[in-house]
Structure 1
């Protein structure tokens, strides 16, 4: 399902509860999702690091069709997951339901009639995967709208956790030449996929298949022997790796992953590995959205962007007074979090802008004299109850501006005739706190005058920062707390000559590979693997 989007789903573990459910499911899909997400964050993540978890249950939900998930939550420790009913005897149909929930986690919205979405499938009478769920006629392919939603989500920095490839020994995977993973003893693996032959004989470059039976596809890598999974003589690397060109390693400093979104950082080849180093992003607290917000976990946490990610283009936050009224309720429709027993916590007056994300779909939804928060259509499979304001968001809409004569935050200074006014208070742990709690100065002060400046990063990543909003020490640090060094200076503190404008921490990439439960390896179509495939068995696909 995800291969045409350039996404590989890697399965780390399957946990079967044979001695009783560890999470009470019940008949409400919304309640089951909230309980499952709390269990995942409290119990599963500490013992098994992963990006996403999906619960498959035999229970029947009364309030949703066949599943439930949290929108645009893929890299969130608190919200990345979904629940699906085992509602069909067909494995493929249930797999489509799980793919639908994963699509929501990745930021995909429903393919509504007004969007005019199209998808290609061998089964033309079926719908697209992200069509509104009915339990019948499941989709077998993602639409052009889903692709656009995914790309927008990545540009906004929502997929920062997807580029770090999981450790192969931890995957639930049979070691086999041709499965698309380079395992112990292999120099390459172009990922053969056996399909029924549509031609009388197989291509000569793919000799593994018996004549007239089935022909391997996706094995035309000029660098790799597809039969032995070894590099051909003279080849240093295999086609598809981001730091490999014409079977040779690309030089140190070659761009292999461009910055996606304002709070991301570009990655560069190190000259020794064919793989692009693990993804890094700006350290929490760096300004974004023209100084109106701050970066947190690789995303620019503006309320407008969060509402549009949740409800689509044109959506925006409610007024400050409306948000305060809603989030002081202390129920499912407005709160500042939940206790272990599931009860909701009402927001204190000063923290109301850090509670549940309260949005309206468009300006036409605004009725004078009314206060309506995020709508929850009956039967919808997207949970908005768990959509909380992201860390780093300014505490409430309409509170941040950059204007002449404004009052700057501590540690910021006048540039030209404007005074920079980044948010002095941001949301952290559902509370409105001083932005200094994000603490970015410690790293900036360690760059020794040779860190990459904001102007350099703006040029590399195409970001748009207000000219008045620059820190007094314009050195850029990544999420590892390391400096992004100038060309000719080596990380992590830029004190010694060397390097090729490589961000600190990239040479330590092996230490960053996390084992993932449902790790989504986000593979650029022009980058890591042009066409990954897996061995087909019988007439149904096997999903990893």
Structure 2
């Protein structure tokens, strides 16, 4: 369902309707619970009277009795339009309490210890040159008075929001214009004195605030009984369905799970021309709106999915729309995917379009399921809403890119969404500023990573500003370490951005608690499947190398499958993924018999209303035929009905059933996926069975023995050799045995060996003799 700004609102859950001042808000919410999501659009005048007048004219601070959140809109027409879209909202609005509030920034005066409220909210640093881009304070505090209480927000610039190569793009006379950097006024922080509270806020144009404090519009609370941990399958029945994905892994001295390791989703935002017009035809306002929305999404993903959303670029179509803006989001998604492939040159894990359009669709956004890291499928489209609503839309469409499904109401008890007011982000029912992902969503994200998806998420981008700032979490020029505020450094390893004496490192999976590097060859990121490549410490860094996987075409699953985009592709695996662990790929007889018929029971696609017959060469790349189909697939929705088929073959009954299973992005999972094997040294691509050599895959270096990587390594997706333990070189031809891999994870410096003691004793005796003789030479007795 569409979020506010574009969806219906939840009803207050009280036994009966009461006035706003009555029992519903008095009994359900504590007094401090009145601090809900604030969207304070205060304009930039420094005059208090001007601010007060603007507030009185423009600001509508709404608190719902049910605690679903506030809307403070200068987009009054948008808000009224959205209200009228749902007849239930009239009942809902009866339970709304309104209060206008004027926040203030807390500052210190000379010779005064306590903080003092100050009417100017601007966080731009003073004494800047006019031609310089605005630089905002690294830390700031604000005070908000609401419902008879005072709330103090302590904030720090979100230095993970923008990457070092962040650019802003606009168009003049049809030509793109690039500008480096941009204004950064986006903060994360907490409410002073409120344990586990979280706040995301921007200050470029007044204040735009999102807080997790009750009623927790965006839940960033990871404490108490809601702490997200890895559950066993016995504690959570849903996970037992995923056990078939897991492989037995060898024991390792040190490793971090793919979910526990911080991931970085590098995102590019594109604003269409109507978005530009919506924001007063101002490039700065349009870009700041996009950055504000991404800042809110980053706050959700950071705590819920251990994933940072990093903005690498914002493109605004200032001259015209560069694709056809259509109320059908599916058509627009396909067109935008083509636009990205042909015109966007910036590196990004996903590119999303923000459009001031109203979709003729049940949801406010659409993206390719599991498409992150793909140039063709790592895209999404999102319709305009107020910042909080748009943040929810973007959080949902990015989640689809990460392999997280929508959750129908029937799955809610199983998924254990405990948010009675806000609901969970991927619920299909109408939710209002959802605050967290459910257990099912988190399990699906883990499953996506375990299958080999999201390989691009493990490469950490660098920081935005070139100036050195100790305490921002990035090691910059003049720094040896920087723990930031994430408390990832081990105690006493790093002081004031310098390594302590004797320390080699301060943090990272290849740094032990004694501040020393783990030796080369220690496992720091395990291989999640046969097509992944385990990463090992290099012995000279505390960080794990970039995440890589095997090049497409490697054999896997006992030579029954082929690696493709980091996943082991087989018809068996695909059937299990769609229909559950008891399903498997049908007998070859089924494919050879049915897919050559060119009917709904077996085909290689459709041309208009006509089913396409598969050639005998392509039968294993056509309609997917499985055994033991369940009534409802695990992913997607069945279009039409399941097509059951069975035959008596070689003395037994063979199940040859199939179905067209569609995702929201119109992808049909009912056909054999790309990368699945279809013959010796052959794999499927777009329903055709092709030789692997014809895919034009870049080859890795070949050694003097004529073997790829000299037969001593694995060819990666970057066409580089990842050498086995005892080999080195670009082609893995240099014998380089590892001397010592026996250290424990947290062991400190090794003690002296016997040989070292003997050598040390001899060296000490020589040194004493040298001092005596030298002293005599200088006249000492």
The alignment's TM-score, normalised by the length of structure 1, stands at: 0.64
Where structure 2 has 5 or more consecutive residues not aligned to the other structure, the ranges are: 1-299, 632-640, 646-655, 740-781
Deviation of the 1:128 alpha carbon: 1.1
1:162 partner SS: helix
Say which of 478, 487, 491 aligns to 1:222: 491
Partners of 2:524 and 2:544 within 8 A in 1: yes
Work out whether 1:330 is the aligned partner of 2:607: yes
1:259 corresponds to = 527
Mapped contact 1:157–1:262 kept (Cα < 8 A): no
Q: What CA distance in whole angstroms lies between the structure 1 residues aligned with 2:312 and 2:721? A: 32
Q: Secondary structure at the match of 2:352?
A: strand
Q: Spell out the pairing of 1:437-476 with structure 2 (5 A cutoff).
A: 437=694, 446=703, 448=705, 476=714
Q: Offset at 1:175? A: 7.1
Which residue of 2 is the match for residue 244 of structure 1? Answer: 511
Mapped contact 1:328–1:349 kept (Cα < 8 A): no
Provide the C-alpha distance between the structure 2 equivalents of 1:124 and 1:37, rounded to a whole number of angstroms.
37
Residues 74-473 of structure 1 aligned to structure 2 (within 5 Å): 74-87=372-385, 89=386, 91-112=387-408, 113-114=410-411, 116-119=414-417, 124-132=420-428, 134=430, 136-166=431-461, 168=462, 171=464, 177-192=470-485, 218=487, 221-223=490-492, 228-239=496-507, 241-246=508-513, 247-306=515-574, 320=591, 321=594, 325=599, 327-330=604-607, 354=621, 362-364=629-631, 366-368=642-644, 373-376=659-662, 381-384=664-667, 390-395=673-678, 423-428=680-685, 431-437=688-694, 446=703, 448=705
Secondary structure at 1:374's aligned position in 2?
Answer: strand
Equivalent residue number for residue 369 of structure 2: 71
Matched, 1:485 2:723: yes
Whether the 8 Å contact between 2:683 and 2:692 is mirrored in structure 1 is yes
- Call closer, same or farther: CA 1:184–1:302 in 2, change over 3 Å: farther
Q: Secondary structure at the match of 1:110?
A: coil
Structure 1 distance, partners of 2:353, 2:658, is 31
Q: Following TM superposition, by how much is the alpha carbon of 1:189 offset from its aligned partner in structure 2, in angstroms?
A: 3.5
Shift of 1:496: 1.9
Distance in 2 (CA, whole Å) between partners of 1:307 and 1:371 is 11
> 1:392 is paired with a residue of what secondary structure?
coil
User: Does the CA-based 8 Å contact 1:65-1:381 persist in structure 2?
Assistant: no
* Structure 1 pair 328–479 and aligned structure 2 pair: CA distance change class (3 A): closer
Q: Do the aligned partners of 1:190 and 1:224 also contact (CA within 8 Å) in 2?
A: no
Structure 1 counterpart of 2:337: 37
Would the aligned equivalents of 1:237 and 1:244 in 2 still touch at CA under 8 Å? yes
Q: Which residue of 2 aligns with 1:339?
A: none
Contact 2:520 2:536 in 1 (8 A): yes
**Aligned-partner Cα distance in 2 for 1:24–1:361:** 43
1:495: how far off? 2.1
1:476 is displaced (CA, Å) by 3.6
Call closer, same or farther: CA 1:224–1:312 in 2, change over 3 Å: farther
By percentage of residues, which structure has more strand?
2
| Secondary structure of the corresponding residue to residue 389 of structure 2 | helix
Pair 248,301 (structure 1): closer, same or farther in 2 beyond 3 Å = same
Contact 2:579 2:630 in 1 (8 A): no
Whether contact under 8 Å (1:447, 1:485) holds in the other structure is no
CA deviation string 1:106-159 (max 9, x = no partner): 111223333611356xx651111121264x413221222122111111111112
The alpha carbon displacement at 1:444 in A equals 9.0
Deviation readout 1:290-336 (Å, 9 max, x if unpaired): 3222112212122443465568767777964369655432359999x
Distance in 1 between the 2:736 and 2:503 partners?
27
Q: Secondary structure at the match of 1:35?
A: helix
In the TM superposition, what whole-angstrom CA distance separates every residue of 1:209-229 from its partner, at most 9, and x where no partner exists?
A: xxxxxxxx7487525668x44
Aligned residues: 410
Unaligned runs of 5+ in 1: 193-216, 336-345, 396-421, 454-472, 502-544
- Give the superposition deviation at 1:438: 5.6
C-alpha separation between the residues in 1 aligned to 2:367 and 2:628?
A: 19
Give the superposition deviation at 1:436. Answer: 4.0
Q: Distance in 1 between matches of 2:394 and 2:670?
A: 20
SS of residue in 1 equivalent to 2:723 = coil
Question: 8 Å contact 2:371–2:378 — kept in the other structure?
Answer: yes
Say whether 1:14 aligns with 2:314.
yes
Of the two, which has the highest radius of gyration?
2
* Partner Cα distance (2:565, 2:721) in 1: 17
Structure 1 residues 329 and 301: alpha-carbon distance in aligned structure 2, compared to 1, 3 A threshold? same
Q: What SS is found at the alignment partner of 1:153?
A: helix
SS at structure 1 position matched to 2:395:
helix
C-alpha displacement of 1:92: 2.9
Structure number with higher relative contact order (C-alpha < 8 Å, ≥ 6 residues apart): 1
User: What SS is found at the alignment partner of 1:281?
Assistant: coil
SS in 2 for 1:146: helix
Instruction: Report the secondary structure of 2:452's partner residue.
Output: coil
8 Å CA contact 2:713–2:732 kept in 1: the answer is no
Q: What's the CA shift string for 1:162-200, capped at 9, x where partnerless?
A: 22223x25x5999754444334444334343xxxxxxxx
Equivalent-residue separation in structure 2 for 1:183 and 1:312 (angstroms) = 48
**Is the Cα–Cα contact under 8 Å of residues 519 and 539 in structure 2 kept in the other structure?**
yes
Q: Distance in 2 between matches of 1:315 and 1:18?
A: 51
Identify which of 355, 372, 377 aligns with 1:57. 355
* TM-score computed with the length of structure 2 as normaliser: 0.46
1-side partners of 2:698 and 2:316: how far apart? 46
Tell me, yes or no, if the aligned pair for 2:700 and 2:708 is still in contact at 8 Å: no
Q: Which residue of 2 aligns with 1:203?
A: none
